[in-house]
Amino acid sequence: MNVVRLTYTLLLAASIPCAILLIRYAYKRRTMPGANYFILLLITAIIYNGGYIGEINSNELSSAMVWFNIEHIAIPLEHYLWLMMSLEYVRAPKKYLKMAKYVMLYHPVSYFLVFYTNNIHHQYISLYQFESNGYFSVIVSSKGPLYIVMVASGTLIGLIATAFYIRAYLQSPRLHRYGHIIMIIASLFPWLSVYLGATNTSYLGIDYYPVVSIFSGLLYAFGIFKFRVFNTIPLAMQTVFRQSKEGTLLIDMTDHIIDVNDAFLKVYPELTKLSDIHNFDSFIKAHSELNGILDENAKLQYQKMINGEAHYYSAEIIRIITEDGFQTGKILTINDVSLFVKYQNRLESITSNALTKAETNEISFLQAQIKPHFLNNTLSVISSMITKDPDEAKNLIANLGEYLANCCYFDSTSVMVSLDKELESVSTYVAIEKARFRERLNFQVVCEIIPKVNIPRLVLQPLVENAIRHGIMKKAEGGNVWLKITCEGGNVCFEIKDDGVGMREKRVGALEISADQKAGIGLLNIHKRLLKHYGEGLKITSVMGRGTSVTFSLPYITADS
């Protein structure tokens, strides 16, 4: 055996174990698109290359023709399998895939029919000769018209598959485009040798199709291990990526934006024409609403104005990890949650209104809890004054009427009242009590200028009432009550102070005054309402036998603002 034939034989023989290794690799990933057809394609390549090894090592035409006939079992099947692998790999629409699976069987069927009946009609190959090329003998044939028809049929299959590869290339992200390029080049190279053989212009008369197939196999291997052709999911652009209602942006390992789908483009249309200048970091800097999303697995919600209308979005970024642990990029997804936020705001509004209504109803209920003995005592005082001091009785009746009006009737749509109005209620109540207790009760409002602010309704009067009833009236000699109003650091500060009997420290700390409800509207209720409106409630200090001080403050916001 001469060196040329030996080299060529060894080269073809080496392709067989390589093909077996690729078959094993693809078999483990046979659930991936195109993998099964790739396995069958490799099997036909083994048949073809094995047959050609036998052909070039034959010493006579008859034995060479046996191997030649074996080779032609693989040739039309390779065309068909290559087409099906291509369509499945690029996720062609199911209707095209199903149609091709059956319609394109015409090629191997007609090829077998034409080739294996050639000895009858001689329209495929008109003449076979076994000639030496100077190194070893090869089959030289004269082609007939059916040969040209079969080459044209195979070319049609190649054009169809290439068209789908190009279509997938244009629709795929840059990360997957390299894989498509590899598939296109690897599939088209063998056709060059087909046309050389059809024109009888191949060097030394050798069929270079098996050799070129080896080169294609190396490209396939490069695509498999470099771009993981059968280890990454070919994106089903039309059905999964493009038409998804979830906005998706793909980022490669160099931080470049490689693709966005239609839903994402509706929010960020400037990404319609991607280029190398579009990297993820610059995109985030250009859109401050996405600040904070750069951290892996970060999530955020943000607002964006689109066509003058506020839209709310949730955003999340995750890493793309393959099954063997390799990171191939990142995905940023955004979802329009405007409808959710709208309903959430509506529920919050309903809840707030319900709480306000409940607070108003609670005040109404508390206002209705006017102690019967207070009315009885006041009416008794009025009765005794009618004959002794009619004018004072008349004033007391007017004060009682005003007190009842302030306590029982108010605008139920608001739980706030002006400070002036609340002080009138306090003055009316104190006037009634002074008519009863005379010199035992002294009350004084200490304030240079009364601020024009609104305060929660029924806060001051109940605190003054508690000071009088539980502080002063429990002392035989009575005492003093002061209402001090000062402005400090943007706040209006209130202090209701008495020099009465005082309270125990334990009772002060737990606000236990309100528990027995002896003071009408309890301190606990006032404390809770102040906490709700201002975040800070009552502060109480008391010394047994020396008196009690109750303080609170609220922001100095004018009643007109």
Tens digit of each residue's pLDDT (9 = 90 or more) over 367-426: 555 455 566 667 777 777 787 778 777 777 887 777 776 665 555 556 788 898 889 888
The domain containing residue 547 runs over which residues? 350-555
Instruction: Give the H/E segment covering residue 99.
Output: helix 94-103
> Do 272 and 210 sit in the same domain of this protein?
no
Q: Which residue has the higher pLDDT, 46 or 437?
A: 46
Q: How big is the chain, counted in residues?
A: 561
The domain boundary, picked from 194, 227, 260, lies at 227
Same domain? 364 vs 419: yes
**Is residue 317 located within the same domain as residue 357?**
no
Of the listed ranges 6-20, 133-147, 351-365, 454-468, the one predicted with least confidence: 351-365
CB 22 within 8 A of CB 224: yes
CB contact set of 312 (below 8 Å; sequence gap of 6+): 301, 302, 303, 336, 337, 338, 340, 341
Instruction: For residue 442, tell me if it sits in a domain.
Output: yes
Residue 233, in any domain of the structure = no
Q: By three-state DSSP, how is residue 437 classified?
A: helix
pLDDT recorded at residue 65: 94
**Rounded to an integer, what distance in angstroms lies between the CA atom of residue 85 and that of residue 137?**
36
Phi, psi of 455 (to 5 degrees): -130, 160
Check whether residue 285 and residue 263 sit in a common domain. yes
Is pLDDT at 231 greater than 60 in this prediction? no
Q: Return the HEC string of 343-396.
A: HHHHHHHHHHHHHHHHHHHHHHHHHCCCCHHHHHHHHHHHHHHHHHCHHHHHHH
List pLDDT tens digits, range 310-349.
888 989 888 877 655 667 778 888 988 888 888 887 887 7
Quick: pLDDT tens for 151-199.
899 889 888 888 887 877 776 655 566 667 777 777 777 777 777 777 7
Both tokens assigned to 441: 């009760």
Enter the pTM of the model: 0.46
Of the residues 336, 365, 394, the one at which a domain ends: 336
49 token code pair: 């290359």
Domain CATH for 305: 3.30.450.20
Confidence band of 515 (pLDDT split at 50, 70, 90): very low
Please check whether residues 216 and 285 belong to one and the same domain. Answer: no
CATH classification at residue 420: 3.30.565.10
Please check whether residues 171 and 256 belong to one and the same domain. Answer: no
377 backbone dihedrals φ, ψ, rounded to 5°: -65, -45
238 inside domain: no
Q: What is the mean pLDDT of residues 8-18?
A: 87
359, 508: one domain: yes
Do both 438 and 488 map to the same domain?
yes
Cα 240 to Cα 20: distance, rounded to the nearest angstrom: 34
Cα radius of gyration rounded to whole Å, the chain: 47
Other Cβ atoms within 10 Å of 105 Cβ, number: 12
Residue 386 lies in a domain: yes
Q: How many domains is the chain partitioned into structurally?
A: 3
417 and 410 in contact (C-beta within 8 Å)?
A: yes
pLDDT at 508: 65
Q: Which of 301, 336, 371 is the last residue of a domain?
A: 336
Euclidean distance between CA atoms 199 and 206, whole angstroms: 12
Contact 158, 169 (CB under 8 A): no
User: pLDDT per residue over 67-121, tens digit each?
Assistant: 999 999 998 998 899 889 888 877 777 888 889 999 999 999 999 999 999 999 9
